[in-house]
Amino acid sequence: MASPWVVDQLVPELLAELAITELPADEASELVGRLVGQAVAARTDSDEFAAVRELARLSPSLGYPLGVIGDAYYASEWLDCECHADSPERDAAAALEASLRTSNPLDVDSGLLLAVTAVV
Ligand SMILES: [Zn+2]
């Protein structure tokens, strides 16, 4: 089992670096999704659904936004459910994870990205 990947305390710093606080919520959500996907893709030991899980974890503190964070929050409902091991919901979660990991990389300071992806 991969170590837990803690991003929460770095998110405010990343939001500031990317000027996300100035953006409309839907654009900000999309950027956070790309960032988390990029960070997860940079790791070799992340959970199969690490990007979906991280975005889902952010959802409550952001007021359950729509967009990719909302999609991840919904998808996360089915990740650990035995009866959904082979289901359209799980397939959708896998597709979301794959699209997050392959979205356009952002121009983020490499040290900061490294810090986000560091094992803690
Ligand atoms: Zn189920």
Any idea where the domains of the chain sit in the sequence?
8-103
More confident residue, 73 or 24: 73
- Higher-scoring residue by pLDDT: 74, 103: 74
Distance 81 CA to ligand 1 centre (A): 4
pLDDT at 119 over 90: no
pLDDT digits (tens, 9 = 90+) for 43-66: 777 789 999 998 898 888 778 888
Distance, CA 85 to ligand 1 centroid (Å)?
7
Across 75-79, average pLDDT? 94
**pLDDT at residue number 2:** 37
Between 89 and 117, residue with greater pLDDT: 89
Q: Say how many Å lie between the CA of residue 82 and the centre of ligand 1.
A: 6
CA distance 46 to 32: 18
Q: Tell me how far the alpha carbon of residue 46 lies from the centroid of ligand 1, in angstroms.
A: 23
Distance 28 CA to ligand 1 centre (A): 31
Q: What is the pTM of this model?
A: 0.77
Residue 49's CB is within 10 A of a number of other CB atoms, namely 22
The burial of 46, by beta-carbon neighbours within 10 Å (0-12 exposed, 13-18 middle, 19 or more buried), is given as buried
